[in-house]
Amino acid sequence: MAAPGVVFTIARAAEMLGETVDLLDEIADQLEPEDGCLWIYDTNEHATLGFTERGIESLKELIADQKR
């Protein structure tokens, strides 16, 4: 598998999926790095969740499961 070339912040992922950051934060604990969920650290020690394209697909699946 090729290394990801793009990572979306949790805020951008929420916007793309039409969901809230709080919802994504809640369900992201079910994801592992191999599912496309990563932590991104900034120079000021601020961290945010990030998702690869695979991570966005994983979130879509979890959201669909939750709504059933």
Q: Where are the domains of the chain?
A: 8-67
CB 11 within 8 A of CB 24: no
Any idea which residue has 């070339």 for tokens? 5
- Condensed to tens digits (0 to 9), the pLDDT of residues 53-64 reads 999 999 999 999
32-48 mean pLDDT: 93
**34: Cβ contacts below 8 Å, ≥ 6 apart:** none
pTM: 0.87
- Residue 5: the pLDDT is 81
Could you tell me what percent of the chain has a pLDDT over 70?
A: 97
Q: Report CA torsion sign: 23, 39, 10, 59.
A: negative
pLDDT tier at 1 (50, 70, 90 boundaries)?
A: low
